[in-house]
Chain A
Amino acid sequence: GQNIDQPTEMTATEGAIVQINCTYQTSGFNGLFWYQQHAGEAPTFLSYNVLDGLEEKGRFSSFLSRSKGYSYLLLKELQMKDSASYLCAMAEDSNYQLIWGAGTKLIIKP
Protein backbone atom coordinates (compact mmCIF):
# COMPACT_ATOMS: atom_id res chain seq x y z
CA GLY A 1 0.00 0.00 0.00
CA GLN A 2 0.91 3.64 0.10
CA ASN A 3 1.82 5.58 3.23
CA ILE A 4 3.48 8.89 4.00
CA ASP A 5 4.48 10.18 7.43
CA GLN A 6 5.85 13.38 8.88
CA PRO A 7 6.01 14.81 12.41
CA THR A 8 2.93 16.67 13.60
CA GLU A 9 4.66 19.68 15.09
CA MET A 10 8.15 21.16 15.51
CA THR A 11 9.48 24.23 17.29
CA ALA A 12 12.59 26.19 16.36
CA THR A 13 14.23 29.52 17.13
CA GLU A 14 14.45 32.50 14.81
CA GLY A 15 17.78 32.47 12.94
CA ALA A 16 18.34 28.75 13.50
CA ILE A 17 18.12 25.74 11.15
CA VAL A 18 15.37 23.13 11.18
CA GLN A 19 14.99 19.83 9.33
CA ILE A 20 11.53 18.39 8.67
CA ASN A 21 11.53 14.70 7.79
CA CYS A 22 9.13 12.76 5.61
CA THR A 23 9.05 8.99 5.08
CA TYR A 24 6.98 7.21 2.49
CA GLN A 25 6.07 3.79 1.16
CA THR A 26 4.80 3.20 -2.35
CA SER A 27 4.98 0.64 -5.10
CA GLY A 28 5.68 3.15 -7.87
CA PHE A 29 7.46 6.31 -6.85
CA ASN A 30 7.60 9.27 -9.20
CA GLY A 31 8.72 12.23 -7.13
CA LEU A 32 8.33 14.00 -3.82
CA PHE A 33 6.92 17.51 -3.40
CA TRP A 34 7.19 19.92 -0.49
CA TYR A 35 4.61 22.63 0.05
CA GLN A 36 4.27 25.43 2.58
CA GLN A 37 0.82 26.29 3.89
CA HIS A 38 0.06 29.26 6.11
CA ALA A 39 -3.07 29.06 8.23
CA GLY A 40 -6.16 29.76 6.19
CA GLU A 41 -4.30 29.77 2.88
CA ALA A 42 -3.64 27.36 0.02
CA PRO A 43 -0.40 25.35 -0.24
CA THR A 44 2.53 27.03 -1.99
CA PHE A 45 5.05 24.97 -3.97
CA LEU A 46 8.54 24.78 -2.45
CA SER A 47 10.37 21.91 -4.15
CA TYR A 48 10.17 18.74 -6.23
CA ASN A 49 12.70 15.89 -6.01
CA VAL A 50 12.67 12.84 -8.24
CA LEU A 51 16.37 11.88 -8.14
CA ASP A 52 18.47 11.17 -5.06
CA GLY A 53 20.32 14.10 -3.59
CA LEU A 54 19.98 17.63 -2.36
CA GLU A 55 18.20 20.47 -4.17
CA GLU A 56 18.98 23.93 -2.84
CA LYS A 57 16.83 27.03 -3.31
CA GLY A 58 17.96 29.94 -1.23
CA ARG A 59 17.19 29.32 2.43
CA PHE A 60 15.27 26.14 1.62
CA SER A 61 16.79 22.80 0.59
CA SER A 62 15.16 19.43 -0.02
CA PHE A 63 16.79 16.01 0.06
CA LEU A 64 15.63 12.67 -1.29
CA SER A 65 16.77 9.09 -0.79
CA ARG A 66 14.66 6.77 -2.94
CA SER A 67 16.23 3.61 -1.54
CA LYS A 68 15.30 4.64 1.99
CA GLY A 69 11.91 6.15 1.16
CA TYR A 70 13.01 9.31 2.91
CA SER A 71 13.04 13.03 2.28
CA TYR A 72 13.69 16.10 4.33
CA LEU A 73 13.15 19.82 4.00
CA LEU A 74 15.89 21.99 5.49
CA LEU A 75 15.12 25.59 6.40
CA LYS A 76 18.04 27.88 7.24
CA GLU A 77 18.16 31.33 8.86
CA LEU A 78 14.63 30.90 10.13
CA GLN A 79 12.36 33.91 10.05
CA MET A 80 9.10 34.45 11.92
CA LYS A 81 7.25 34.34 8.60
CA ASP A 82 8.38 30.71 8.19
CA SER A 83 5.84 29.73 10.84
CA ALA A 84 3.49 27.54 8.80
CA SER A 85 2.61 23.96 8.04
CA TYR A 86 4.94 22.07 5.72
CA LEU A 87 3.42 19.23 3.72
CA CYS A 88 5.21 16.53 1.81
CA ALA A 89 3.38 14.81 -1.01
CA MET A 90 4.45 11.90 -3.19
CA ALA A 91 3.61 11.26 -6.80
CA GLU A 92 3.03 7.72 -7.98
CA ASP A 93 3.61 6.11 -11.36
CA SER A 94 0.25 4.52 -11.74
CA ASN A 95 -2.10 7.42 -11.24
CA TYR A 96 -2.25 11.14 -11.36
CA GLN A 97 -2.85 12.06 -7.77
CA LEU A 98 -0.57 13.31 -5.04
CA ILE A 99 -0.55 11.40 -1.76
CA TRP A 100 -0.15 13.90 1.03
CA GLY A 101 1.22 13.76 4.53
CA ALA A 102 -0.84 15.43 7.25
CA GLY A 103 1.65 18.29 7.47
CA THR A 104 4.19 19.46 10.04
CA LYS A 105 3.26 22.60 11.93
CA LEU A 106 6.45 24.63 12.42
CA ILE A 107 6.45 27.14 15.25
CA ILE A 108 9.19 29.76 15.24
CA LYS A 109 10.07 31.43 18.53
CA PRO A 110 12.00 34.70 18.86
Chain B
Amino acid sequence: DAGVTQSPTHLIKTRGQQVTLRCSPISGHKSVSWYQQVLGQGPQFIFQYYEKEERGRGNFPDRFSARQFPNYSSELNVNALLLGDSALYLCASSLDGGWTGNTIYFGEGSWLTVV
Protein backbone atom coordinates (compact mmCIF):
# COMPACT_ATOMS: atom_id res chain seq x y z
CA ASP B 1 0.00 0.00 0.00
CA ALA B 2 1.22 3.47 -0.83
CA GLY B 3 1.89 5.74 2.12
CA VAL B 4 1.21 9.44 2.29
CA THR B 5 2.67 11.11 -0.78
CA GLN B 6 3.61 14.75 -1.03
CA SER B 7 4.85 16.84 -3.91
CA PRO B 8 7.08 18.55 -4.68
CA THR B 9 9.75 17.31 -2.30
CA HIS B 10 11.95 20.38 -2.59
CA LEU B 11 11.33 23.80 -4.07
CA ILE B 12 12.81 27.27 -4.05
CA LYS B 13 10.64 30.35 -4.40
CA THR B 14 11.22 34.08 -4.35
CA ARG B 15 9.66 36.43 -1.81
CA GLY B 16 6.21 37.53 -2.94
CA GLN B 17 5.57 34.46 -5.05
CA GLN B 18 2.86 31.88 -4.48
CA VAL B 19 3.28 28.14 -3.89
CA THR B 20 1.00 25.11 -4.02
CA LEU B 21 1.88 21.93 -2.16
CA ARG B 22 0.06 18.66 -2.74
CA CYS B 23 -0.74 15.66 -0.60
CA SER B 24 -2.36 12.28 -1.25
CA PRO B 25 -3.42 10.43 1.92
CA ILE B 26 -3.27 6.73 2.54
CA SER B 27 -6.02 4.84 0.75
CA GLY B 28 -9.12 4.79 2.95
CA HIS B 29 -8.06 7.78 5.04
CA LYS B 30 -10.49 10.68 4.88
CA SER B 31 -8.63 13.25 6.93
CA VAL B 32 -5.63 15.34 5.98
CA SER B 33 -3.79 17.77 8.25
CA TRP B 34 -1.06 20.23 7.33
CA TYR B 35 1.82 21.21 9.61
CA GLN B 36 4.72 23.61 9.23
CA GLN B 37 8.04 22.66 10.80
CA VAL B 38 10.74 25.29 11.03
CA LEU B 39 14.27 23.96 11.56
CA GLY B 40 14.90 23.04 15.19
CA GLN B 41 11.26 23.25 16.26
CA GLY B 42 8.30 20.94 16.49
CA PRO B 43 5.61 21.04 13.82
CA GLN B 44 2.92 23.74 14.04
CA PHE B 45 -0.64 22.97 13.02
CA ILE B 46 -1.96 24.82 9.99
CA PHE B 47 -5.19 23.07 8.88
CA GLN B 48 -7.19 19.89 9.19
CA TYR B 49 -9.67 18.73 6.57
CA TYR B 50 -12.16 15.90 6.87
CA GLU B 51 -14.62 14.88 4.19
CA LYS B 52 -13.66 17.99 2.19
CA GLU B 53 -14.58 20.33 5.04
CA GLU B 54 -12.16 22.44 7.07
CA ARG B 55 -12.38 21.18 10.63
CA GLY B 56 -9.58 23.12 12.28
CA ARG B 57 -7.24 25.99 11.61
CA GLY B 58 -4.08 27.00 13.41
CA ASN B 59 -2.69 30.43 14.07
CA PHE B 60 -1.53 31.23 10.55
CA PRO B 61 -2.30 34.30 8.43
CA ASP B 62 -4.85 34.33 5.63
CA ARG B 63 -2.00 33.95 3.14
CA PHE B 64 -2.30 30.25 3.96
CA SER B 65 -5.23 28.37 2.48
CA ALA B 66 -6.06 24.77 1.71
CA ARG B 67 -8.69 22.53 0.25
CA GLN B 68 -9.54 18.85 0.04
CA PHE B 69 -10.79 17.15 -3.09
CA PRO B 70 -13.42 14.39 -3.53
CA ASN B 71 -10.63 11.79 -3.69
CA TYR B 72 -9.41 13.13 -0.29
CA SER B 73 -6.18 14.54 -1.66
CA SER B 74 -5.36 18.04 -0.53
CA GLU B 75 -3.55 21.20 -1.58
CA LEU B 76 -1.94 23.83 0.62
CA ASN B 77 -1.50 27.27 -0.93
CA VAL B 78 0.68 30.02 0.42
CA ASN B 79 0.51 33.48 -1.15
CA ALA B 80 2.90 36.43 -0.92
CA LEU B 81 5.73 34.28 0.39
CA LEU B 82 7.97 35.63 3.12
CA LEU B 83 11.45 34.48 4.10
CA GLY B 84 9.94 33.13 7.32
CA ASP B 85 7.78 30.70 5.36
CA SER B 86 10.89 28.65 4.66
CA ALA B 87 10.18 25.33 6.36
CA LEU B 88 9.29 21.69 5.99
CA TYR B 89 5.58 21.34 5.24
CA LEU B 90 4.16 18.08 6.46
CA CYS B 91 0.95 16.40 5.46
CA ALA B 92 -0.60 13.96 7.94
CA SER B 93 -3.15 11.34 6.98
CA SER B 94 -5.58 9.59 9.34
CA LEU B 95 -8.84 7.67 9.15
CA ASP B 96 -11.03 10.39 10.58
CA GLY B 97 -8.70 12.88 12.25
CA GLY B 98 -10.06 12.06 15.65
CA TRP B 99 -8.33 10.72 18.72
CA THR B 100 -9.66 7.18 18.96
CA GLY B 101 -6.25 5.60 19.08
CA ASN B 102 -5.78 5.47 15.34
CA THR B 103 -2.39 6.53 14.28
CA ILE B 104 -1.50 9.49 12.17
CA TYR B 105 0.90 8.97 9.31
CA PHE B 106 3.11 11.67 7.85
CA GLY B 107 4.35 12.13 4.33
CA GLU B 108 8.00 12.84 3.62
CA GLY B 109 7.27 16.54 3.50
CA SER B 110 7.88 19.38 1.11
CA TRP B 111 10.97 21.48 1.79
CA LEU B 112 10.23 25.08 0.88
CA THR B 113 13.03 27.63 0.68
CA VAL B 114 12.09 31.27 0.14
CA VAL B 115 14.90 33.53 -1.06
Interchain residue pairs A-B with the least CB separation, the first 8 = A100-B42, A97-B45, A30-B99, A96-B56, A91-B99, A42-B106, A96-B48, A42-B109
- Asked if residues A96 and B101 are in contact (CB atoms below 8 Å), the reply is no
Number of interface residues of A (CB under 8 A): 24
Inter-subunit contact B99/A50 (CB<8 Å): yes
User: Count the B residues whose beta carbon is within 8 Å of the partner chain — how many?
Assistant: 27
Q: Which of B2-33 contact A (CB under 8 A)?
A: 31, 33
Cα distance A38–B40 in the bound complex, in angstroms: 12
Kindly identify, within residues 29 to 79 of chain B, every residue whose CB is under 8 Å from any CB belonging to chain A. 31, 33, 35, 40-45, 48, 50, 55-56, 58
List 9 A–B pairs whose Cβ atoms lie within 8 Å, in order of A's numbering.
A48-B101, A48-B103, A89-B43, A96-B31, A96-B48, A97-B48, A97-B56, A98-B43, A100-B43
Tell me whether A101 and B42 are in contact in the complex, defined as CB-CB below 8 angstroms, given that A31-B101, A95-B56 are known contacts.
Answer: yes
Selected contact of A43 from candidates B43, B55, B56, B99, CB within 8 Å: B43
CB distance from B112 to the nearest CB of A (A): 14
- In the bound complex, CA of A87 to CA of B108 (Å): 16
Q: How far is the CA of A100 from the CA of B44 in the complex (A)?
A: 7
CB distance from B102 to the nearest CB of A (A): 9
Interface string of B82-105 (1 = CB under 8 A from A): 000000101000000111010111
Nearest neighbor of B6 in chain A, beta-carbon distance: A42
Hey, which chain B residues are within 8 Å of A102, CB to CB? 40-42
Within 8 A of B (CB), among A23-47: 30-31, 33, 35, 41-45
**Which chain A residues in 53-110 approach chain B with CB under 8 Å?**
87, 89, 91, 93, 95-103
Give Cα A98 to B64, complex, Å. 19
Known: A35-B106, A96-B33. 4 other contacts (CB 8 A): A87-B42, A96-B48, A97-B33, A101-B42
Are B42 and A50 closer than 8 Å at their CB atoms? no
Contact of B90 among A42, A93, A99, A103 (CB under 8 A): A42
Chain A residues, Cβ within 8 Å of B35? 98
Docked-complex contact B107 and A42, CB < 8 angstroms:
yes
